[in-house]
A and B are shown apart, each in its own frame.
Chain A
Amino acid sequence: MNHNHPVFTDNDPQSELVTLNLGPTHPATHGVFQNVLQLDGERIVSGVSTIGYIHRAFEKIAEHRPFYQITPLTDRLNYCSSPINNMGWHMTVEKLLNIQMPKRVDYLRVIIMELSRIADHIICNTIIAQDTGATTTFLYLFQFREHIYEIFEEVCGARLTTNIGRIGGFERDFNDIAFAKIDKFLKEFPKALKEFENLLTRNRIFIDRTAGVAEVTKEAALEYSWTGPLLRATGVDYDVRVSDPYSSYQDFDFEVPVGTSGDIYDRYLVRNEEMWQSVGIIEQALVKLKTEPKGIFHADVPEFYLPPKQEVYNNMEALIYHFKIVMGEIDAPKAEVYHAVEGGNGELGFYLINDGGRTPYRLHFRRPSFVNYQMFAPMSEGMLLSDAIINMSSMNIIAGELDA
């Protein structure tokens, strides 16, 4: 067998370097990926990242699934913010099919996507705190992730891998309990987020651990194709929601926070501010929903939107469309489309080539974690091991998205 894994063989008996396997199942990596590090005391001399431990060949599987069966695959990319992936995929197909979405659906989607963004940023920021030793903040803010999942549960029945919505809209309208839960969340979360900031933002220990650690310049970040909060922390104001608005983000008034030095402290601040902005966006969306006609939760595209089961049993057209959709009998344009959404970690792109068959000819996911993570090993060189750990937490690498 020809193994070309990086293996540091230190034949020099005088050498004082230590080889450390950080991962693949190390509690501090928060995911299944490995770094083989050469240490000089506590300082990292060099490192090699090995990934692929949960590679599930989604791109290959997607070539054998009709469009609507690909949504559950996208759940398992960044499983901390599954709805963003789901909706990114739905919007890609809608772009391919030139479906015009009703504004109300767009706003409902924006609410769900911003809730997911908050959930994603809660995980990342609380884990930075956890890894710097502040367990309280982790446990305190984490309950709001639970509240967000309860909202998802109300909307689609699932919590983590949501499979939320359909191509063409949602499978059902939000019920009153869902709206009540969103209202409750909007009332309680800002207080908790404020307290979270009070505990950390001016905390001397936290600043000492994070400020000035793992600084990245704008140029380096762009050179390595960074996107998302990591890129914005270096001072580049690139946000797909603004530069390439989708799902009616152009109707919303929000700010794109940017940092200056790209260090861990800036990343933390950027993510925190994004949570505030997301809360603002959800509030605006709820106001906008009031002026939209009630009860519209999907576009009028019977060729692609699965009809309600009740109608399938009682209505001929619904039965025909149901059959045609499930059997993949409906022609989609032969075309290729690239659609990007702002995921929790950056630009999540879907490159879809359709040749008119039942399934995509080729589907490629541009996964922000995968692209962002390649800088981890080079930037760790010369860093203290404990700094590298919180650097990794602040990159919010999600193994599912890393490996696809």
Chain B
Amino acid sequence: MEETTLNNNILAKLSDKFGEKVTGVSEPYGLLTFVTTKDVIINVLSFLKNDLSFNFLTDITAVHYPGKDHGIAVVYHLHNMVEKVRIRIKVFISEQNPTIPTATTVWKGANWMERETYDLFGVKFEGHPDLRRILNMDDLGVHPMLKQYPLEDPNRVDKKDEFFGR
């Protein structure tokens, strides 16, 4: 597979540069995915942008895994438009103190993506120029995409997994 060789090359260069900071490598549906830590994430992003020509930031979002040690995953999707490769980077951060350096220093377009992630998950992007809520009202008080907030009346039973044998 051509895609796999390309991914392996990228991975080799990343491992050379960041050593054991690059972990949890997988390739779901051909999309190279790896986990890194928040102290090097900006270096990783700049390295990918400047040296491996992942010049395009597709998306920033987060996922909540409640009850885990580092329960919030911040997920970055980058795109190398020349070689037509995408890459996914995950950083797991703690739920109690969800902070991560901002990517607005690398791409200006990260601004609203990070505001949305802050609004929905409460991830605080350190150094962000304008970290305000973007979709929800200011006095909402919670970050609604966290799993502890129910969508609707929690007494409804027709949508709970346990009633479907799961």
Residues in A lying within 8 Å of B, measured CB to CB: 1-5, 51-52, 55, 57, 59-61, 63-64, 95, 222-226, 236, 238, 243-244, 327-329, 335-338, 340, 347, 349, 351, 353, 356-358, 361-362, 364, 366, 370-371, 373-375, 403-404
Nearest-CB residue, chain B, relative to A53: B135
CA distance A347 to B132 in the complex (A): 25
Known contacts: A338-B31, A338-B86, A370-B116. The answer to whether A225 contacts B57 by CB under 8 A is: yes
Known contacts: A337-B29, A349-B58, A349-B77. The answer to whether A224 contacts B109 by CB under 8 A is: yes
Nearest-CB distance from B68 to chain A (Å)? 13
Within 8 Å by CB of B77, from A1, A63, A351, lies A351
- The answer to whether B161 touches A3, judged by C-beta atoms less than 8 angstroms apart, is no
- The answer to whether A60 touches B151, judged by C-beta atoms less than 8 angstroms apart, is yes
B31: chain A residues at CB < 8 Å are: 337-338
B138: chain A residues at CB < 8 Å are: 1-5
Residues in B lying within 8 Å of A, measured CB to CB: 28-29, 31, 33, 55-59, 61, 63-64, 75, 77, 81, 84, 86, 88, 107-109, 111-113, 116, 120, 132-139, 144-145, 151-152, 159, 161, 164-166
Instruction: Offer 29 A-B interface pairs, CB within 8 angstroms, sorted by A.
Output: A3-B139, A4-B132, A52-B133, A55-B136, A59-B120, A59-B145, A60-B144, A60-B145, A64-B152, A95-B29, A222-B56, A223-B107, A224-B109, A225-B56, A225-B58, A225-B113, A236-B81, A327-B164, A328-B164, A337-B29, A337-B31, A338-B86, A338-B88, A349-B77, A351-B59, A351-B77, A353-B63, A357-B166, A358-B161
B137: chain A residues at CB < 8 Å are: 52
Nearest-CB residue, chain B, relative to A48: B130
Nearest-CB residue, chain A, relative to B137: A52
Nearest-CB residue, chain B, relative to A55: B135
CA distance A238 to B84 in the complex (A): 10
Nearest-CB residue, chain A, relative to B110: A225
A366: chain B residues at CB < 8 Å are: 58-59, 77
CA distance A338 to B87 in the complex (A): 10
CA distance A321 to B8 in the complex (A): 41
